[in-house]
Amino acid sequence: MIPRKKELELIQIYMYICDLYDQELKYYCQRYSNNSNPAFTDQEIMTTYLFAGHCQKYFQIRDIHGFASEYLSSWFPELPSYQTFNLRLNRPGEAFRVLSGRLISSFMPADCDKGISLVDSLPVITCAGRNRKGKVAPEITSKGYCSTRNMYYQGLKLHALTSRREGEIPFPESLMFTPARNNDLTVFKQAWGDYISDTVIFGDKIYSDFEYFNDDRKQKQNIEMFTPVKAVKGQSEQERQRKKAYDDLFSTAVSKVRQPIESFFNWLNEKTTIQRAQKVRSTKGLLIHTMAKIAIAFIYLIF
């Protein structure tokens, strides 16, 4: 048995998943086989994963299955064996991606400042070490470098474009995963640069590109990028010292505004341990690890 409050949360999650499944998710879980209508449904397996992750902080599949077997058997009497549960859970990765996008787009808080955006990325690590060669999901991962942690790693990057909220962690406008080697500025240009407008964006030094964020783009899209001052190659020491006071004050101001996105990533990692993917052993498993954990983090929005 589980407490009454958690029972109500389980019902809310299940009803939301069922409604969204009928509208959209079923097209990403469709089966064309004799087992197209399993006794333990896709809605139930998604609900079990989300509930165990959000309410119990269980993220290992064995722990989730053990919890469901012991405490949720009356709710899901057709719960299969661990091996079958593990196999079935690896299939709806695309459905979890769609679910995450729908949660974020449907429940955006009213206090989001549409005129100020924060952008940054978070490493998702499948293997760490400069000389280590990752073997998990090589088709979607690559080797990259995290300057914040001074670390080479194999894995993905989670890129986030968020709306600033006064006194709160920012709320994502858009999230996307890329291989770790992809440059943050290049990803921004390709994913969002031509599609966003009427906002001031705050990022770190890697997003500094005066040629791209020129006056023409400001006039057409009404966007402007602010980053800490980046050293200019070939600049003399005398000129650098002359501008140092202004540059330091400006960089501090920009860093203070963009700091909440670091809090967003810390919150996301504390809720889901999304950054630690060293135990993932397959591409499908990595997709579940990333997409489903975004859904776990934001499932509270339906309550």
Partners of residue 168 on adjacent β-strands: 165
Query: 65: exposed, middle or buried (C-beta count within 10 Å: 0-12, 13-18, 19+)?
Result: buried
Residue 292 lies in a domain: no
Distance between CA atoms of residues 128 and 235, nearest Å: 36
Long-range contacts of 283-287 (CB under 8 A, 24+ apart): 283/136, 283/137, 283/139, 283/140, 284/90, 284/91, 284/93, 285/90, 286/126, 286/136, 286/137, 286/140, 286/141, 286/156, 287/93, 287/94, 287/96, 287/97
Residue 299 lies in a domain: no
Give pLDDT, residue 123. Answer: 95
Are residues 258 and 124 part of one domain? yes
Domain span holding position 125: 110-280
Give pLDDT, residue 108. Answer: 92
Are residues 266 and 124 part of one domain? yes
Distance between CA atoms of residues 267 and 264, nearest Å: 5
Residue 216: which pLDDT band, with cuts at 50, 70 and 90?
A: confident
The chain-wide mean pLDDT, for the chain, equals 90
pLDDT digits (tens, 9 = 90+) for 3-14: 899 999 999 999
Q: What is the DSSP string of 162-181?
A: EEEETTEEEEEEEEEEEETT
Residue 20 lies in a domain: yes
Are residues 151 and 115 part of one domain? yes
**Is the Cβ–Cβ distance between 288 and 96 less than 8 Å?**
yes
Residue 263 lies in a domain: yes
Give pLDDT, residue 256. Answer: 94
Residue 199 lies in a domain: yes
pLDDT digits (tens, 9 = 90+) for 73-90: 999 999 999 999 999 998
Are residues 20 and 143 part of one domain? no
Q: Is the pLDDT of residue 33 over 70?
A: no
Residue 91: which pLDDT band, with cuts at 50, 70 and 90?
A: confident
Are residues 71 and 203 part of one domain? no
Are residues 188 and 87 part of one domain? no
Which residue among 27, 62, 91 closes a domain?
91
pLDDT digits (tens, 9 = 90+) for 99-157: 999 999 999 999 999 899 999 999 999 998 777 777 888 999 999 998 888 889 999 99
Residue 184 lies in a domain: yes
Q: What's the Cα-to-Cα distance from 289 to each of 8, 109, 241, 300, 302, rounded to whole Å?
A: 26, 26, 47, 18, 21
Which residue among 91, 125, 154 closes a domain?
91
Are residues 14 and 124 part of one domain? no
Q: Once rounded to an integer, what is the mean pLDDT over residues 223-244? A: 79
Number of domains in the chain: 2
Residue 298 lies in a domain: no
Query: Could you tell me the pTM of the whole model?
Result: 0.91
Are residues 153 and 86 part of one domain? no
Give pLDDT, residue 230. Answer: 81
| 99-113, 207-221, 276-290: the lowest-pLDDT one | 207-221
Give pLDDT, residue 277. Answer: 92
**Is the Cβ–Cβ distance between 1 and 71 less than 8 Å?**
yes
Give pLDDT, residue 257. Answer: 94
pLDDT digits (tens, 9 = 90+) for 162-184: 999 998 999 999 999 999 999 99
Residue 105 lies in a domain: no
Give pLDDT, residue 135. Answer: 83
**Is the Cβ–Cβ distance between 14 and 48 less than 8 Å?**
no
Q: Once rounded to an integer, what is the mean pLDDT over residues 240-255? A: 85
Partners of residue 146 on adjacent β-strands: 151
Are residues 275 and 230 part of one domain? yes
Residue 225 phi, psi dihedral angles, 5° rounding: -105, 130
Are residues 125 and 15 part of one domain? no
Which residue among 59, 91, 123 closes a domain?
91
Are residues 267 and 132 part of one domain? yes
Residue scoring higher pLDDT (148 or 224): 224
Q: What's the Cα-to-Cα distance from 280 to each of 125, 126, 127, 273, rounded to whole Å?
A: 10, 7, 10, 12
**Is the Cβ–Cβ distance between 20 and 102 less than 8 Å?**
yes
Q: Say which residues have a Cβ less than 8 Å from residue 210's Cβ, sequence separation at least 6.
A: none
Give pLDDT, residue 28. Answer: 87
Q: Is the pLDDT of residue 35 over 80?
A: no
Residue 24: which pLDDT band, with cuts at 50, 70 and 90?
A: very high
Give pLDDT, residue 32. Answer: 62
Are residues 116 and 55 part of one domain? no
SS3 86: helix
Q: Is the pLDDT of residue 234 over 70?
A: no
Cα angle value 164/167/172 (rounded, 5°): 30
